[in-house]
């Protein structure tokens, strides 16, 4: 150190300490996508601790709707009542999980209403007669999802466009397999979908298993952490050395698998295949995830929220029926309820 | 021992790093200093494997890392980087970010979360003893200071892969002085104990001078000096960073209008912002008819100040926050030209003509709502001639070269007939010939009575200004007028350092410069 420099240092040591650097936009750190936590906000979060508030709304909505329903229809609380009211939720639950995987990457699947229908008609028309052929066709659906993941990743196409385009392919294929609704469910599938486990109604058991397993995978496994990292901040993920392309292809594959399970359950419950019956699954699954605490920009995997979101959405119709709302009004009413709930979510997050 | 051998990296036609070599002995710390765009960050990203260089190799303790070997290979060799930007995932828990940064920690088995959390909190206590951050916090809920602390804790954390080289890029930008002291104390300890080499990049001269043995000075992608910290003087460092060397030093405007625009300073200022009462902050004032530069390192609040002026020009601003610091003599209008033309400028599907007039459609209406095509045509014909767009008015704007696209945006800003022209680093990556004529047009605009507020990341462009405000940490720290604007003075005031901006008497002692 030269004398000159040393002298300057001595002079400066008498000065007051440097003020706390600014935290605002003037700071040197570029923080893309990170909401700057205010002091008060951080304290609040610390107080709440580890609890993720994301799925609270969906859980609350599902419970509230069910209580309302059982006030209107006391029978709904019985084992049979629960099974009857909720069994139609099971396919939607799996489709919602698939949608959650897409949304956690910041993508969106606008075709899963028709891909679940394809799995439905394949298992209702082909499977009863040619089990192996049917299984192969279902595997192809999963493979097609993997292919879409590769396309989105390496051709940099928007997932919305790819999946929307694919939805026409799904519908076309479904209509070739089943020009009109029909077919039947393989015996094993019927007995799985209508199994009455002792003590707990099947839909609740499935919801519980999916929620627990899904949460464990998302939160505790390396794959789950990588999935959320890739959706949360791709640049950081790349800097951590995460192969984002591989993550996306595997995630799409898992989503495809979940959709096929949903389609199989649909067949087991309805005993037939219908190319058009599940078209509204697309938007219902998006709604379930967003209600459950998902974010369109990616990074969140609210498994419990998505499952409860699916439960809550299925419950709106029975409640409206119990209130004697004509069925023609119900579709619109579901939409209004949904918008209100998601608007309410913004308030909850503040 | 880290050896970086003749690294070169070119982006499009700018050389970000040109043939830079360096070596760091075990236990040694190297400081790297340089002005905006000197290539410091690119150089260390090459070392960390984040950027693939065009040429050059990195060798660490006999492990050769050829170009393109990637982040994972560099990490395995023992290179750790705490980068200038926050590279963490906001939706993940702190401990999950830690585990992603150090994949070997996933091997912790079923209880890896608890294990990682414990290791993180231990390391945090070792580096920043008085700071508590729970590893179970969601990363996005942390303050900027805490984010930087997490990043530094992660970078210095011992794992089964030993650290051989620790690179800190602007590590103290959000830290208070005692946190910075804790960090550097820890790094010094680490260097002594495990013999790792360190690289420190900082715009705070004190960080470098106090914590490194050698200083590498970079300018425009080249290394201009390598000094031993013990013998280096502040003047030597600044001279090596700045423009006083070299023959291509820009010349100031021949006729300086240091005393304000053509109308002189007798005119009232158009707008002014008072100092916030912060330490060493100066007020900001703009007079009609002058070109005001916003200088300083990148991200020190220049774009925010431009945005504030823009908001002041809208009626809404009368009720907005921060309004009280501003004094406006009258309502004024503003036009904005950004250098980020893809994001903030071009209307990519439109032709040149409408791209120029879109900001001034109000002047081309009859009956207040009908667009007059004839007037639009004559106005754009004039502008195209004036800014020399040879392709004419009807070409799709995306068919033009980048420099010509920027001319279109400039024409749009000038055609808007505003009182203030706001320029947000508008000539980034624009060729010299276009720039030279653009400087002339801007001067013409000022001569016609407009006020021009100009942020630039190129020091040379401030020589075209009447006055330059040097900003640091969100506030104006120095005002230079006319002949005072020099590369030397701009750089001196840009760097937050008692060393660099010490009393001038002390500066003058540097007769060896």
d(CA B270, CA B288): 6
Residue B209: count of CB within 10 angstroms of its CB: 26
B91, B177, B474 member nearest A22 (Cβ): B474
Residue A145 carries which DSSP code? H
pLDDT over 60 at A29, yes or no: no
Instruction: Kindly give, in sequence order, each residue whose CB lies less than 8 Å from that of residue B35, ignoring residues fewer than 6 positions away.
Output: B219, B241, B242, B297, B459, B491, B494
The Cα-based distances of A99 to A220, B475, B496 in angstroms read 20, 47, 50
Helix segments in A55-130, DSSP class H:
56-72, 79-86, 89-104, 112-121
ipTM of the complex: 0.79
Is B99's CB within 8 Å of A29's CB?
A: no
* Chain A 260-299, residues with CB within 8 Å of chain B CB atoms: 295, 298-299
- DSSP codes, B283-351: -EEE-TT-EEEEESSTTSSHHHHHHHHHHHHSGGGGGSTTGGGEEESS---EEEEES-HHHHT--TTSB
Minimum Cα–Cα distance from A219: chain B residue: B96
Residues B90, A222: C-beta atoms closer than 8 Å: no
The pLDDT tens digits of the residues spanning A270-303 come to 999 999 989 989 989 999 998 898 888 899 999 9
**Among the partner residues A7, A37, A241, nearest to B72 by beta-carbon distance:** A241
Which chain A residues contact residue B148 at CB under 8 A? 29
Q: Compute the distance between CA of residue B48 and CA of residue B367 in angstroms, rounded to an integer.
A: 62
Which of chain A's residues have a Cβ under 8 Å away from the Cβ of B71?
238-241
Q: Copy the structure tokens of residue B280.
A: 């060493």
Helical (H) or strand (E) element with B148? helix B144-156
Distance CA B301, CA B4 (A): 34
With a CB cutoff of 8 Å and minimum separation 6, the contacts of A35 are B90, B140
For chain B, the helix, strand and coil percentages under 3-state DSSP, each to the nearest 5: 40, 20, 40
C-beta separation of A207 from A6 below 8 A: no
Choose the mutation target among B144, B203, B206, B311 for the interface with A, i.e. most A CBs under 10 Å. Answer: B144
B173 contacts in A (CB within 8 Å)?
Answer: 21, 27-29
Contact call for B474 and A228, based on CB within 8 A: no
Q: How far is A218 from chain B (nearest CA, A)?
A: 11
Q: Which of A19, A23, A237 lies closest to B145 in CB terms?
A: A23
- pLDDT greater than 70 at residue A176: yes
CB B438 within 8 A of CB B337: no
- A74-133 pLDDT, tens digit per residue, is 888 889 988 988 998 999 999 999 999 999 999 999 999 999 999 999 999 999 999 999
A8 and B231 in contact by Cβ < 8 A?
Answer: no
* A21 to B96: CB separation less than 8 angstroms, yes or no: no
pLDDT above 50 for A60 = yes
- Give the one of B232, B300, B509 whose C-beta lies nearest to A26's C-beta: B300
CB contact under 8 A, A232 and B89: yes
Instruction: Say whether B177 and A17 touch across the interface (CB within 8 A).
Output: yes
Q: Please give the order of strands across the beta sheet that includes B165-169.
A: B79-82, B165-169, B197-201, B29-34, B214-219, B222-228
The pTM for the full model equals 0.74
Task: Note whether A18 contacts B: Cβ–Cβ < 8 A.
Answer: yes
Strand partners for B15: B10
3-class secondary-structure state, position A171 = helix
pLDDT, residue A24, reads 38
Summary mean pLDDT of chain A: 83
Tell me if B423 sits within 8 A of B341, measured CB to CB: no
Question: Is residue A273 within 8 Å of A182, Cβ to Cβ?
Answer: yes
Instruction: Report the DSSP beta bridge partners of residue B4.
Output: B22, B58
- Nearest CB to A45: which of B138, B203, B229? B138
Distance, in Å, from the CA atom of B234 to the CA atom of B499, rounded to the nearest integer, reads 6
Chain A / chain B CB contacts < 8 angstroms: 185
pLDDT digits (tens, 9 = 90+) for A298-335: 999 999 999 999 999 889 888 988 888 888 888 788 78
Are the C-beta atoms of residues B5 and B57 closer than 8 Å to each other?
yes
Within a 10 A sphere around the Cβ of A105, how many other Cβ atoms? 26
Test mutation, B36, B91, B95, B301, chain A, max A CBs within 10 A: B91
Q: Using alpha carbons, select from B16, B75, B77 the residue that is nearest to residue B41.
A: B16
Number of Cβ within a 10 Å radius of residue B349: 10
Q: Which residues in chain B have their CB less than 8 angstroms from residue A242's CB?
A: 100
**CA–CA separation, B506 vs B504, rounded Å?**
5
Q: Is B26 helix (H, G, I), strand (E, B) or coil?
A: coil
Interface test with B, best of A15, A21, A293, A300 (most B CBs within 10 A): A21
- The CA distances from residue B146 to B141, B156, B174, in Å, are 10, 15, 9
Closest residue of B to A19, CA-based?
B176
Point out the residues of chain B with pLDDT beneath 70: 13, 36, 108-109, 243-267, 277-278, 315-323, 429, 496-513
Q: Are B312 and B397 in contact (CB under 8 A)?
A: no
What does the pLDDT look like over A146-167, one tens digit per residue? 999 999 999 989 999 999 999 9
Q: Over range A218-234, report the average pLDDT.
A: 92
Name the minimum distance, in Å, from the CA of B394 to any CA of chain A.
Answer: 30
Q: What is the model's pLDDT at position A50?
A: 43
Least confident of A56-60, A139-143, B395-399, B500-504: B500-504
The mean pLDDT value for A333-338 works out to 78
In angstroms, the CA A235 to CA A152 distance is: 17
Q: Which residue in the set B178, B499, B503 is minimally distant from A5, CB to CB? A: B499
Write the DSSP assignment of B252-294 as a string of letters: PPSS--TT-STT-TTSPPSEEE---S-TT---EEE-TT-EEEE
Report CB contact under 8 Å: A27, B174.
yes
* Contact (CB<8Å) B101/A7: no
- The residue length of chain B stands at 513
The string of DSSP codes covering A9-50 is HHHHHTSPPPPPPP-STTSSS--TTPPPPPHHHHHHHHHHTT
């Amino acid at each position: 150190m030269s004398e000159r420099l040393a002298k300057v240092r001595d002079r400066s040591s008498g000065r007051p300490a440097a003020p706390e650097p600014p935290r605002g936009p003037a700071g040197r750190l570029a923080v893309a996508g990170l909401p700057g936590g205010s002091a008060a906000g951080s304290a609040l979060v610390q107080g709440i601790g580890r609890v993720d508030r994301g799925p609270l709304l969906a859980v609350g909505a599902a419970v509230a709707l069910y209580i309302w329903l059982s006030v209107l229809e006391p029978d709904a609380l019985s084992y049979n009542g629960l099974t009857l009211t909720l069994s139609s939720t099971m396919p939607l639950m799996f489709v919602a999980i698939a949608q959650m995987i897409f949304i956690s990457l910041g993508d969106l699947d606008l075709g899963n209403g028709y891909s679940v229908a394809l799995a439905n008609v394949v298992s209702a028309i082909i499977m009863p007669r040619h089990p192996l052929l049917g299984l192969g066709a279902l595997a192809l659906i999963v493979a097609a999802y993997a292919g879409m993941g590769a396309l989105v990743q390496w051709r940099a196409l928007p997932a919305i466009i790819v999946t929307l385009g694919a939805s026409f392919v799904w519908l076309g294929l479904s209509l070739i397999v089943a020009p009109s609704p029909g077919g039947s469910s393989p015996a094993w599938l019927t007995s799985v979908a209508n199994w009455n486990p002792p003590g707990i109604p099947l839909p609740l058991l499935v919801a519980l298993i999916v929620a627990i397993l899904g949460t464990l995978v998302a939160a505790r496994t390396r794959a789950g952490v990588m999935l959320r990292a890739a959706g949360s901040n791709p640049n950081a993920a790349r800097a951590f050395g995460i192969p984002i392309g591989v993550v996306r292809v595997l995630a799409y594959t898992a989503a495809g698998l979940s959709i096929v399970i949903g389609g199989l359950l649909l067949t087991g419950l309805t005993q037939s295949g219908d190319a058009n019956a599940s078209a509204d699954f697309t938007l219902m699954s998006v709604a379930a995830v967003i209600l459950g605490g998902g974010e369109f920009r990616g990074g969140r995997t609210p498994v419990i929220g998505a499952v409860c979101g699916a439960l809550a959405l299925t419950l709106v119709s029975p409640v409206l029926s119990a209130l004697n709302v004509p069925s023609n009004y119900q579709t619109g009413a579901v939409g209004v309820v949904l918008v209100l709930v998601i608007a309410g979510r913004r308030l909850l997050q503040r | 021992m880290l050896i970086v051998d003749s690294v070169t990296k070119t982006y499009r036609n700018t050389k970000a790093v040109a043939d830079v070599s360096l070596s760091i002995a075990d236990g040694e710390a190297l400081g790297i200093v340089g002005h905006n765009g000197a290539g410091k960050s690119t150089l260390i990203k090459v070392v960390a494997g984040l950027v693939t260089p065009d040429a050059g190799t990195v060798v660490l303790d006999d492990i050769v890392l050829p170009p393109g070997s990637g982040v994972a290979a560099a990490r395995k060799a023992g290179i750790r980087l705490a980068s200038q930007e926050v590279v963490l995932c906001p939706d993940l828990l702190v401990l999950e970010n830690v585990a992603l940064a150090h994949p070997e920690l996933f091997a912790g088995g079923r209880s890896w979360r608890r294990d990682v959390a414990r290791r993180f909190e231990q390391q945090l206590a070792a580096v920043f003893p008085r700071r508590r951050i729970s590893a179970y916090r969601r990363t996005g809920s942390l303050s900027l200071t805490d984010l930087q602390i997490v990043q530094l804790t992660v970078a210095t954390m011992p794992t089964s892969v030993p650290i051989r080289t620790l690179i800190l890029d602007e590590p103290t930008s959000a830290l208070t002085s005692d946190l910075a002291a804790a960090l550097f104390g820890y790094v010094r300890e680490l260097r002594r104990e495990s013999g790792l080499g360190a690289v420190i990049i900082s715009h705070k001269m004190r960080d470098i001078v106090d914590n490194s043995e050698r200083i590498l000075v970079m300018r425009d992608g080249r290394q201009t000096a390598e000094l031993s910290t013990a013998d280096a003087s502040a003047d030597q460092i600044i001279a090596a960073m700045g423009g006083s060397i070299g023959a291509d030093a820009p010349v100031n405007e021949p006729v300086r209008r240091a005393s304000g625009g053509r109308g002189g300073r007798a005119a009232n200022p158009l707008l002014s912002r008072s100092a916030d009462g912060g330490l060493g902050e100066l007020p900001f004032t703009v007079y009609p008819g002058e070109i005001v530069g916003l200088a300083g390192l990148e991200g020190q609040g220049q774009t925010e100040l431009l945005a504030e002026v823009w908001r002041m020009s809208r009626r809404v601003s009368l009720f907005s926050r921060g309004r009280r610091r501003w004094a406006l003599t009258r309502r004024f209008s503003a036009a904005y030209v950004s250098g980020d033309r893809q994001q903030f400028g071009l209307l990519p599907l439109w032709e040149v003509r409408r791209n120029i007039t879109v900001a001034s459609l109000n002047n081309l209406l009859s009956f207040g709502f009908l667009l007059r095509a004839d007037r639009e045509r004559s106005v754009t014909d004039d502008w195209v001639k004036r800014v020399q767009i040879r392709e004419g008015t009807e070409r799709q704007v995306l068919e033009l070269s980048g420099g010509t696209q920027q001319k279109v945006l400039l024409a749009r800003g000038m055609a808007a007939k505003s009182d203030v022209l706001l320029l947000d680093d508008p000539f980034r990556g624009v060729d010299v010939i276009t720039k030279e004529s653009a400087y002339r047009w801007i001067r013409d605009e000022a001569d016609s009575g407009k006020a021009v507020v100009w942020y630039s990341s190129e020091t040379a462009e401030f020589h075209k200004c009447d006055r330059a405000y040097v900003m640091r940490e969100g506030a104006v720290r120095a005002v230079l007028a006319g002949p005072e604007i020099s590369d030397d003075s701009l750089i001196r005031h840009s760097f937050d350092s008692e060393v660099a901006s010490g009393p001038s008497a002390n500066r003058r002692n540097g007769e060896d410069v």
